Amino acid sequence: MGKAIEKHGGHIDKFPGDGILAYFGLDRDPREGAVNALRSALEMGSELAAANERLKEALDEPLAIGIGLHFGDVILGEVGYKENSSLTIIGDTVNTASRLQSLNKSAQSQLILSTTLAAQAGVDLSYLPMAKATIRGKTEPPRVFLVKNLLGELPGALSKSEARHPLGFPKISV
């Protein structure tokens, strides 16, 4: 998963539990960062499918993935004290993405992304189910898109956007 993030210009911040916190667009145009986050999610779905195929004899049930994507400002800086400090991102955008990620299990989805990120990336996801995410600390629930199957639902939106998106999208075969 780390390779998929780095391949698309993402930076891995940390590994909380069995998750990954990453950010995109730090040294790029924000629109490109949003697009690359989607590209990375799609590639992670592909890598998960390949891992499940390799491990199918060893696993009682396939491995699952739950990704949360949101767009906005973050604070990047040293947090902690002395030898316990590290460079990290914090802020409302980080908290919102984390909370979106945690909703995947109950939504039975692989990806929950805010309409804010979709708009920034310039992709049309209107064919996907939409919901309002109840998130602790938010008075106005963010509107989100639910992606139940990354490989089945996301490539179509990315390929349809390729012609009109100035950054282009990779051709992906599934």
CA distances from 68 to 4, 60, 62 (A): 15, 26, 20
Determine which helix (DSSP H) or strand (DSSP E) holds 116, and give its type and residue range: helix 115-121
Q: Name the least confident of 52-66, 69-83, 127-141.
A: 127-141
The per-residue pLDDT for 169 is: 38
CATH classification code of 2-162:
3.30.70.1230
pLDDT value, residue 53 = 96
Domain boundaries, the chain: 2-162
How much is the average pLDDT of 7-29? 91
The tally of CA atoms less than 13 A away on the side-chain side of residue 90 is 7
Q: How many Cβ atoms from other residues are within 10 Å of residue 126's Cβ? A: 10
Q: How confident is the model at residue 159 (pLDDT cuts 50, 70, 90)?
A: low
Q: What percent of the chain has pLDDT over 70?
A: 89
pLDDT value of residue 157? 66
Reduced to 3 states, what is the DSSP secondary structure of residue 10? coil
Write down the pTM of the prediction.
Answer: 0.86
Which of 67-76, 107-116, 159-168 is predicted with the least confidence, judged by mean pLDDT?
A: 159-168
